[in-house]
Structure 1
């Protein structure tokens, strides 16, 4: 890796998912004015997230079902005409 291009001020911060309240400890250079006491008894800055891997439908497996049956019927109807003309 190249020297001198990475920030030097990495510190531990708590990331809090605001949609489900889940928190996790990681390192970041992001600034925060709020702090919270973590499970180890130490106080860390808090970074609030709108969504994380614990609440995102892709990672949780709770994807929204799309009306694929209606779309498939429309597709078949549209291209059935094209195949009938050939």
Structure 2
């Protein structure tokens, strides 16, 4: 393996502040901030806006789109009837 061609791959903590969740993994991501982990070691920490702990798809809190209501809103806004040819 050539030494100068590969990025630095090290342990990093990713922290999802919105869910209060953090996990330790290996990554090439870097950060100036550090955190002391459960094992007593200090690791770089990268704050993320969303993770599997807070993403609606993975948490089961995804909203379903009311397509019928959207069509009715479109008709109210732009008037006329849909489905007729010119």
TM-score over 0.5 (shorter chain): yes
- Shifted more, 6-15 versus 27-36: the winner is 6-15
Please state if 1:56 is matched with 2:49: no
2:19 corresponds to? 20
TM-score calculated relative to the size of structure 1? 0.71
Distance in 1 between the 2:38 and 2:67 partners?
45
Distance in 1 between the 2:30 and 2:69 partners?
48
Report the CA distance between 1:69 and its aligned residue.
Answer: 3.2
Does the CA contact (< 8 Å) of 1:37 and 1:44 recur in 2? yes
Listed as ranges, the gaps of 5+ residues in structure 1 are none
Name the SS of the counterpart of 2:51 in structure 1.
coil
Distance in 2 between the 1:69 and 1:8 partners?
50
Name the SS of the counterpart of 2:69 in structure 1.
helix
TM-score calculated relative to the size of structure 2? 0.71
Name the SS of the counterpart of 2:82 in structure 1.
helix
Listed as ranges, the gaps of 5+ residues in structure 2 are 75-80
